Amino acid sequence: MDTDFAFSAIMETLWQSTGIANATWGNLIMIVVAFALLFLAIAKKFEPLLLLPIAFGMFMANLPASGIMSPPMIQLDLLKHVVEGASNGAVSFDDLRKTMGTESGGLFWWLYQGVKYGIYPPLIFLGVGAMTDFGPLIANPKTILLGAAAQIGIFFTFFGALFLGFSPDEAAAIGIIGGADGPTAIYLTAKLAPHLLSAIAIAAYSYMALVPIIQPPIMRALTTKKERVVVMEQLRPVSKRERLIFPIIVTLLVVFLLPPAAPLVGMLMLGNLLKESLVTDRLSKTAQNELINIVTIFLGLTVGATASAEYFLRVETLMIILLGLLAFCFGTAFGVLFGKIMYWTSGGKVNPLIGAAGVSAVPMAARVVQVVGQKENPQNFLLMHAMGPNVAGVIGSAVAAGVLLAIFG
């Protein structure tokens, strides 16, 4: 009888430790959502480099009882001993260490600290900077205004989110989706509203993947045929001295004015300096390839792992996705409208389509401008002209994040 009881207890314990016994409807729904995102990443190629790790992180975190996002467990009995011994000095370093217990935390929880403490996004920016050519922006510095104009969508959406009942911190994190810059959105959200991280990251990268679908109708609706067929003059050559001075000057100006933007802008410009100096080729290639790839895996997995049913399956998530779409559309629209202003003030020499590239979805937004422009005029080559506002948008989104952090951080 005792043997039967012991066997029954063992089987009961074993059953209770399985994922099947601990599964909830929320877990199952989130696993289905993860499969849907995997489909979009693999079959439809929607930002697969990040959407695939995000989807798999979501899948892993919602497998019941996996503990992959569990924080370190504290042994309460030892903690009580430490607290009681603090008054008479009877606490040793070993006592403090033991309060962490034997449960050291799940793998993804530790990797997530790189998101929580703002480590991964600046490292992504280091790689982006090493892959970016600021030459078109330097050759035509007026296009930085187009990158700035496209960021207006961030602040419009911020006020819209406030109107819908989100807190100022949450509204700021939602608004930054309009910058179409995933690392910036993740960086700001981790600082201001970490509970919204998965929803905002998925929205940001989904809309970046949908740039070729979302932007062209807005571009055509806001411009005339006459404006869209404008052929712009070839950009002037940019000297090596200009390319070297540019990242230093931008870092100096931005960080003096907005210190909270220093991690993003500083690492972006360091990566560009590694590329343009021509004396750190090995470091530049590492930043462009191995480093950015490793960090992208960690970033995607851990952002996806925050998408637990408790935080993701809410009405607010749907509202965030819709607000993110509005933010992106507003950003595109304001960029094109400012492009029209430049068209008028230049006497018809600026094609306003390039304003759509002011959102920082590099280089996809610039490619969309090229495609739309060539459909209107096969002799039109707008790619390099669009790269100016496109890379300005990267700087602009980081500056916008710095403004929001300075106000709410």
Q: Report pLDDT digits (tens) over 104-136.
A: 778 999 999 999 999 999 999 999 999 999 999
Of the chain, the end-to-end C-alpha distance in Å amounts to 64
pLDDT at residue 64, rounded to an integer: 86
Same domain, 153 and 18: no
Spatial distance between the Cα atoms of 166 and 229, rounded to a whole number of angstroms: 43
The boundaries of the domain holding residue 396 are: 118-408
Assigned token pair, 182: 């995933």
pLDDT band, residue 94 (cuts 50/70/90): low
pTM above 0.95, yes or no: no
**DSSP helix/strand/coil, 156:** helix
In this structure, the answer to whether residues 63 and 137 fall within a common structural domain is no
Percent of the chain exceeding pLDDT 70 equals 87
Which has the higher per-residue pLDDT, 298 or 13? 298
pLDDT in tens, 345-390: 999 999 999 999 999 888 889 999 999 999 999 988 999 999 999 9
Residue that is last in its domain, among 86, 111, 136: 111
Q: In b/e form, how buried is each residue of 327-364, taking b as 16+ CB within 10 angstroms?
A: bbbbbbbbbbbbbbebbeeeeeebbbbbbbbbbbbbbb
User: What pLDDT is stored for residue 6 in this prediction?
Assistant: 67
Asked whether residue 183 falls in the same domain as residue 281, the answer is yes
| Claim to verify: residue 21 and residue 165 sit in the same structural domain | no
Is residue 99 pLDDT above 90, yes or no? no
Both structure tokens of 330: 């507003």
Quick one: 125 and 252 in the same domain? yes
Q: Are residues 26 and 76 in the same domain?
A: no
Please tell me the least confidently modeled range out of 76-80, 109-113, 122-126, 164-168.
76-80
**Structure tokens, 364:** 């996809």
Same structural domain for residues 164 and 46? Answer: no
**What are the tens digits of pLDDT across the range 9-20?**
666 666 566 666
Residues 133 and 249 in one domain: yes
Task: Give φ, ψ of 359 to 5 degrees.
Answer: -70, 150
Residues 258 and 341 both lie in one domain: yes
Number of domains, the chain: 3
Q: Are residues 190 and 85 in the same domain?
A: no
* Cα separation, 22 vs 69, whole angstroms: 15
340 and 388 within one domain = yes
For the chain, the maximum distance between any two Cα atoms, rounded to a whole number of angstroms, is 97
Scan for tokens 């798999």, then name that residue.
56
- 50 and 86 co-located in one domain: no
Query: Which pair of structure tokens corresponds to residue 264?
Result: 């993003």
Least trusted range by pLDDT, from 6-15, 47-56, 135-144: 6-15
Rounded to the nearest integer, the mean pLDDT of the chain is 88
Q: Using CA atoms, how far apart are residues 121 and 176, in angstroms rounded to an integer?
A: 14
Q: Determine the pLDDT at residue 252.
A: 97
Tally of residues, the chain = 409
Instruction: Summarize pLDDT for 171-199 with one digit per residue, the tens.
Output: 999 999 988 888 999 999 999 999 999 99
**In 10 A of CB 90, how many CB atoms?**
11
Does 102 score more than 50 pLDDT? no
In the block, tokens 């034997």 appear at 102
- Provide the residue type at 402 as one letter: G
